[in-house]
Amino acid sequence: MARDRRTAAEAKPKGEEAAAPQNTLSITDNRTGRSYEIEVLEGDAIRAADLRKIRVMDDDFGLLSYDPAYVNTASCRSAITFIDGDRGILRYRGHPIEQLAEQGTFLEVAYLLLKGDLPTRDQIAAFTHEITYHTYVHENVLKLLDGFRYDAHAMGIMISVVAALSTFYPEAKDVRNDENRWRQMVRLIAKMPTLAAFAYRHHRGLPYVYPDNSLSYTANFLNMLFRIGDREHTPQPVLVRAIDVLFILHADHEQNCSTSVMRGVGSSLADPYSALAGAMAGLYGPLHGGANEAVLRMLTEIGHVSRVPEFIHGVKAGKGRLMGFGHRVYKSYDPRAKIIKQIADQVFEVTGRNPLLDIALELERIALEDDYFISRRLYPNVDFYSGIIYQAMGFPVELFPVLFAIPRTVGWLAQWQEMLEDSEQKIARPRQIYVGHGERPYVPLELRS
């Protein structure tokens, strides 16, 4: 999240004596009358561990910061993704999301996130080759898939199968080895579309379609999903491009719930398959990557534009949330939602207009004029319009969170790698404020009332 970069001295109210600028914070503990000086770091942060020196008795643990849901705690220093939530800015490695979405490809953006800079012609050719030739999965994975019920949710299948991949690649445990780590990252990015397509085909009872290495990352994914018999699925270029752009928009979003899980699990030096399965589980929830599916179900339930006011009334009365609205960091329009709205027009020219779009547009119109949403600074987020596009393209709703997870795999891996290379990081271990019973004796069962 962006922070104001003024120094403490610059931030002084006008008219105050100009003292020598100091990037420190003076704290007086009114319990003891003692004063402390704490360094203010880059990003206007203090080290929470510096608070430990503030104590009443010498043998106290020292002061803690209490921050449920980490609303105001930086857990790392990161050079990957920049967000300014007030101004609706999102950049990957410094590049504005709008430019990447307009001019880049998903694999170029993946390279950028993982390596730090946009690739040269040779670099992208080599990376594309690597990804293309790791798309196959071990045949035993198919047996695993067969064990799932016909109506198993694709995310449940994906989480399990990604975790299972760690058993196929036991060398992945050697996370400190750069070359080995890179091989696992390539495997994961390459195999996610294959696993997603297989999960979908299992659900439909259709035979699996193996990867076709002559196709692009996105076209191959669509072919594995939708090919019937010998006829290669040749999607309209507009739709292939739309998926590529949607993948770019979902590739990373700094320290959100699932990324924090990836870093947290990875901090115990677990292999990346296990860590990524955990991250996917975090993404699955309806407040995070499951929101695109929840939006579609909500729009379907509303059913008609005329019922929008009644639905909004219900949300304001506390009967559920307007899914696809609101964000912890964006307090203005999510820049990704703006781009997705533009893609929708291009997609609908090919597929025909999704009738749910009218309901979504009406929800947005009413919500953006309503004081409940204005005062809470609730705007459409990335999930509000994406589902309508996916549905028009023929994806079933159960696949929507998976369509989020495939590109986010890149972000999770970039963040995981950065965490492992950061000498300040160690195993994640937050503290707690204990509010339970004091010591009490064990009472034998027959004596308990």
Q: In sequence order, what are the beta bridge partners of 95? A: 92
374 touching ligand CMC, by CB under 6 A: no
Whichever of 225 and 291 has its CB closer to ligand CMC, that residue is 291
Nearest CA to 258 out of 288, 237, 230, 228 is that of 288
Q: Does 137 bind ligand CMC (CB under 6 A)?
A: no
Which window, 9-17, 31-39, 73-81, 281-289, contacts ligand CMC (CB under 6 A)? 281-289
In the complex with ligand CMC, which residue's Cβ is closer, 183 or 297?
A: 297
Per DSSP, the residues of 281-327 read: HHHHSTTTTTHHHHHHHHHHHH-SGGGHHHHHHHHHTTSS--TTB--
**Is 383 an active-site residue?**
yes
* CA torsion through residues 329, 333, 334, 335, sign: negative
Catalytic residue among 50, 84, 288, 358: 288
Select 211 or 290, whichever has its Cβ closest to ligand CMC: 290
Per the listing, tokens 């009490």 go with 440
| List 291, 312, 340, 356, residue binding ligand CMC (CB under 6 A) | 291
Q: Least distance from C-beta 27 to ligand CMC, angstroms?
A: 28
Site for ligand CMC in 8-67 (CB under 6 A): none
Give the nearest distance from C-beta 377 to ligand CMC in angstroms: 8
| Cβ pair 401, 284 in contact under 8 A | yes
Q: Is 253 in the site for ligand CMC (CB under 6 A)?
A: yes
Indicate whether 254 belongs to the interface with ligand CMC (CB under 6 A): no
- Closest CA relative to residue 45, chosen from 93, 91, 4, 86: 4
Sign for the pseudo-dihedral over CA of 280, 282, 285, 287: negative
State the number of binding residues for ligand CMC (CB under 6 A): 20
**Binding mask 386-415 vs ligand CMC (x if CB under 6 A, - otherwise)?**
------------------------------
In this structure, are residues 275 and 259 in contact, taking their beta carbons and an 8 Å threshold? no
Residues 6+ apart with CB under 8 A from 109: 92, 100, 247, 248, 251, 410
288 catalytic? Reply is yes
Positions touching ligand CMC (CB under 6 A) are: 253, 256, 287-289, 291, 315, 321-328, 376, 378, 381-383
